[in-house]
Amino acid sequence: MTGSHTVQLLLKRGHTVRVIAHNEDERSMRLQELVFYGNARVTEGGAVDLLQRLARIYLGPNADYPPAAMRNIPGYITRITPTHFAGVGPWNAQGAE
């Protein structure tokens, strides 16, 4: 399944999604994992403007991103409304040290 096919599915109907982020805690050498579940909504277009706003926040006020060659691609924006969280780490009482 290609990325664009997945996006088309999300555009047709709302989807429940699961996002997993993991990181090894350098101090304790333990794996920390945050899992959040939610409802995704994908909209077509607006990605260039969003990336430019984020670039100025994270890369500096004079950041020019995305590259000029990519600015004519409308892209997609995915918004996720979390419904619940899980995982192993300090945010979860069962995973806290």
pLDDT recorded at residue 11: 53
Instruction: Quote the pLDDT of residue 97.
Output: 44
Task: Tell me the domain boundaries of the chain.
Answer: 3-88
Provide the pLDDT for residue 21. 82
pTM: 0.65
> What does the block give as tokens for 47?
């990605």
- List the chain pLDDT tens, one digit each, 97 residues: 444 555 555 555 667 888 888 776 667 666 778 888 889 888 899 999 999 999 999 999 999 999 999 999 999 998 989 999 888 877 676 644 4
Q: What secondary structure does DSSP assign to 5-54, as a single string?
A: HHHHHHHHS-EEEEEEEEEEETTTTEEEEEEEEEEEEEEES-HHHHHHHH
Here the tokens at position 77 are 């924006």
Element (H, E) at 54: helix 47-58
- Token digits of residue 80: 């996720």
